[in-house]
Chain A
Amino acid sequence: MKTGFSVFIAVFVAMAFSWSGFVLGPVRQLGTEGQTNILNSSDIYPNQRPGAATLGLQVYRSYGCAQCHTMQVGQEGVVCDVVLTAAGNKPAAVSNLIATLQLTGLTKEQADAVSGQITAAGGKTETHIVPTGADISRGWGMRHSVAEDFLWDNPVQLGSVRVGPDLSNVGMRYDVNWELMHLYSPVSEVKSSTMPPFHFLFIKERIDGTPSPEALPLQGDLAPPAGYEIVPTEDAKNLVAYLLSLRVNVPLYDAPFTTLAPATEKKK
């Protein structure tokens, strides 16, 4: 074993090197992340998820949702749009000037130059910061995901395969009834869905007197036999609470964008 010591050193160096890269580096970089201010506001982000949603994360984890769903929005670029907010005293001059300028998809330098020109002509402008990228044009999010978004999630369910859509903002897209129906029978909500139905998250119950307010409004082939109803289990309710708490809709310093209007919910 003349080489024993050098083998030990070599193995140690290799392990230490990868440990530094995969553990020490990320912890030094992101280990101190905490709550932060929403841009141009004194509100704090992110807030602790509601209790049911925290339990729902464990349901999400236990059924392996992250095998098919990611929770990370990518962003490929950022552009500036110059928007005229007031035409000033010489509207004709300003509108003639604007007709000759490109106002959207600019870099910051170009946007500053353009707004300088318009301001010189008497108009007032605002520069909107607009993230771009495939995920964002699909409507999966407004900006890239950052470490703060996952502050309260343990373990973080980033996922890496997109058999289904990204869920970073699923709470902004649907409401509780849609989510429950979709879990019970995905195809009835999204025709082309390949998601398996999660019937085991629901119970078939005999209706005892008055029907439960939580019973799913099932029709046609899906409807249970007369006198029975389908109600969600605690797991299903917690999972839906978690899904509805997924909304990454605020600008942060490390993920800047201009909020044009309050985020609206798309309801079915």
Chain B
Amino acid sequence: MSNDSKDSMQSTTESKTPTVPIWIFCLLLLLLYVCGTYFDRNSGWFDDQVYAPFQNSDEVAAYQPVSGAAATKLEGQKVYSSICAACHGDSGQGKPGQAPPLAGSEWVNAADFKEAGEVPQLGLNGEVHVAGQDWNSQMAPMGAALSDSDLAAVLTYIRGSWGNKGADVSAADIKAMRTAIAGHPAINGETGLKAIK
């Protein structure tokens, strides 16, 4: 090393370039850690549905009170208004010339849910007698793609609303019925509906 470079190094030391002390770095890291922990405990990562004392959306979902019958009815209502209500009406009153009523229908109020369960799964074409009137229209198998629990919920909803007095339908019932009628063609009118075993 030459003398020159040694001199320049000394002059740098003497000019006292301000340096950040190590303890500030430590303090900042500590602060970062504390803030990170705080966010983790209280923010739910900025989800608008998560408030303390819940820490994340899974926890909020886990602590939802599920009151059996009310929850099923609500789910059924949701399915009904998104699929069925377009033709059968918001309160099951039906649409003249297009879809028979569900409110007060003898098929819906039957002791077992056989017909009420088969029609949405298989579809129904042709003549059918509902609530003192003859109907001749077509229904696609709108409920075939629904899950067992959704179809059970919507049937429970239909059979328990607007003055209907049918018993509840469980997802297990629907599952059993699905295997029983698998592969059956679309139902041909009232005679076809009664013919299904």
Contact = CB atoms under 8 A, between A and B. Distances in A.
Interface of A: 25, 28-30, 32-33, 39-42, 75-78, 80, 108, 126-129, 133, 144, 146-147, 251, 253-259
Given A40-B71, A40-B74, A78 B64 contact: no
A254 B60 contact: yes
Contact of A253 (B53, B64, B70, B71): B64
Contacts of A144: 51-53
Among the interface residues A30, A39, A80, which one has the most CB atoms of the partner chain B within 10 A?
A39
B187 to A, nearest CB: 32
A40 B51 contact: no
A41 B74 contact: yes
A126 B69 CA distance: 12
Q: Is the interface of B mostly helix, strand, loop or mixed?
A: loop
A29 B63 contact: no
B64 A256 contact: yes
A253 B67 contact: no
A257 B60 CA distance: 11
Contacts, number: 63
20 contacts: A39-B64, A39-B65, A40-B66, A40-B67, A40-B70, A40-B71, A40-B74, A76-B53, A78-B53, A78-B54, A78-B63, A126-B68, A127-B66, A146-B51, A253-B49, A253-B60, A254-B49, A256-B63, A256-B64, A257-B65
Contacts of A126: 67-68
A83 B65 CA distance: 13
Contacts of B60: 253-254, 256
Contacts of A29: 46-48
B105 to A, nearest CB: 23
Interface residues of B, number: 21
Contacts of A39: 64-65
Contacts of B68: 126
A129 B64 contact: yes
A104 B54 CA distance: 19
B173 to A, nearest CB: 19
B75 to A, nearest CB: 10
B9 interface: no
B109 interface: no
Contacts of B77: 42
A128 B70 CA distance: 14
B48 A129 contact: no
Given A78-B54, A133-B53, A144-B52, 18 more contacts: A25-B46, A28-B46, A29-B47, A39-B64, A40-B66, A41-B74, A42-B74, A75-B51, A75-B52, A76-B53, A128-B65, A129-B63, A129-B64, A144-B53, A147-B48, A253-B64, A254-B48, A258-B65
